[in-house]
Amino acid sequence: MTQRVLTTESGAPVADNQNSATAGVGGPILLQDQHLLEKLARFNRERIPERVVHARGSGAYGYFEVTDDVTGFTRADFLSAVGKRTETFIRFSTVADSLGGADAVRDPRGFALKFYTDEGNYDLVGNNTPVFFIKDPIKFPDFIHSQKRDPFTGRQEPDSVWDFWAHAPEATHQVTWLMGDRGIPASYRHMNGYGSHTYQWTNAEGEAFFVKYHFKTNQGVRSLSSEQAAELAGRDGNSHQTDLLQAIERGVHPSWTLYVQVMPAGEAAVYRFNPFDLTKVWPHSDYPLQRVGRLVLDRNPDNVFAEVEQAAFSPNNFVPGIGPSPDKMLQGRLFAYADAHRYRLGVNHTQLPVNAPRTAGVDNYGRDGLHATRNGARHDKNYEPNSYAGPAQTGAALSAPLAIHGWTGTHEAPAHTKDDDFFQAGELYRLMSEDEKGRLVANIAGGLSQVTRDDVIERNLAHFHAADADYGKRVEEAVRALRED
């Protein structure tokens, strides 16, 4: 085998990669050692800034296969025929901790999926819970600040966590999910994924439907208790990453079955609560699950840093037949996610291999800027319209238009019959077994009892009382017992 020659970034051969150039034997290093300076400078820049949220993640490639006909609801090409397969990339993540945190912690999990369709990339950015803590994006920075490391102590503070929730009664439903048995998945393979938001599907006839995505794990849901998680996190901080990597490497390909709930667009205005409220679910008795297909993960990335950490998902990456809904949190994320990637990875992050569409049809006027690799030929114009056969618009909307009415301004969410902040949290609590309720109460009390202000504790207890009388009573008693110890 011919020995390959090591070169510098400019292509010059490297004479010595073991010793720096010095002024004599044992002398100081010379500034003229271009190879040394280049290596150190590149090393300093190998890692991009970590995400503010979802910093710690794992990823895998796979495919999505359609198993059921949904063409009556959407004209999306990748869903157009039973048996059709589309390449995918998924990134799982924890939300609150930094890149150096452990996998086995009580935290929601990101479930971000990129479909490399023939009509461009479609990104579905969700979580392993069907709801979230807040319903308006203007509160998102405040929420994340309350859950992340405190600027003074450098650690997550129960006072901040529970103080925010005390002032956000709509968080009670998600808090009940998070503190319950599914709050710490045993692995990424053993949890469900949800689009969480409400999205719009449009069929070939122009009929619009609102949908919610449910990815049900075919491995079965498995979770960890707080004690099991603490032991696992101490033993192997990379437990979920290791599990996913090793499962795929040994040919055990995790899979999920995709179901959707479908609501005809005309029913949204008369539904008994706001169907676009991210803190609520649609009961399956109202809108049953309808099977769509299956997601299979069958290939690990070759380079975590180049693929998993540079993967950029944005919920505004739609394809024909799929679009947004009036969900306020979704509307905010349409801007925030793409903007985060422009900061972290640069304006040309969509040209990176993990983010680039697989279709040859990328043709626009976006040029120049940091790391641009697609700048066009010398005679291509960088404006539109033009007289030089440049790409032009189609005039065909990706999804159906959304009706709007009323006055501009800041508005509180409209009240529906059951559009309160506590009803569904109480419903979830009442679905639990006695053992599940006991663990839920213990998990909540363990954190809430550490809060130093009585008024913050009382505010939170009021939320649990409002959700269910027994729920509130048991949490209150458990908190009191822990504080008296």
Q: Point out the residues that are catalytic.
A: 54, 127
Query: How many alpha carbons lie under 13 Å from residue 223 in its C-beta half-sphere?
Result: 21
Query: How many alpha carbons lie under 13 Å from residue 452 in its C-beta half-sphere?
Result: 3
User: How far is the C-alpha of 47 from the C-alpha of 136, rounded, in Å?
Assistant: 32
Helix, strand, or coil here: 7?
strand
| Phi then psi dihedrals of residue 163, to 5 deg | -65, -40
- Compute the C-alpha angle 111/112/116, nearest 5°: 140
The closest of 286, 231, 280 to 263, measured between CA atoms, is 286
User: What single-letter amino acid sits at 377?
Assistant: A
- Compute the C-alpha angle 100/102/104, nearest 5°: 165
Q: With contact defined as beta carbons under 8 Å apart, do 180 and 201 qualify?
A: no
User: How far is the C-alpha of 464 from the C-alpha of 95, rounded, in Å?
Assistant: 24
Helix, strand, or coil here: 413?
coil
Q: Tell me how crowded residue 99 is: count the other CB atoms within 10 A of its CB.
A: 12
Task: Look up residue 101 and give its DSSP letter.
Answer: S
Burial class (CB in 10 A: 0-12, 13-18, 19+), 413: middle
H-helix or E-strand spanning residue 217: strand 208-217
User: How far is the C-alpha of 134 from the C-alpha of 279, rounded, in Å?
Assistant: 6
User: What single-letter amino acid sits at 273?
Assistant: F
| Phi then psi dihedrals of residue 391, to 5 deg | -60, 145
Cis? peptide before 137, omega within 30° of 0: no
Rg (CA), the chain: 25
Question: Where in 282-439 does DSSP place strands (E)?
Answer: 290-299, 322-323
User: Helix 423-431 to helix 454-467 angle, to the nearest 10 degrees?
Assistant: 70
Backbone conformation region of residue 220, classed left if phi is above 0, alpha if psi is from -120 to 50, else beta: left
81: tokens are 């025929």
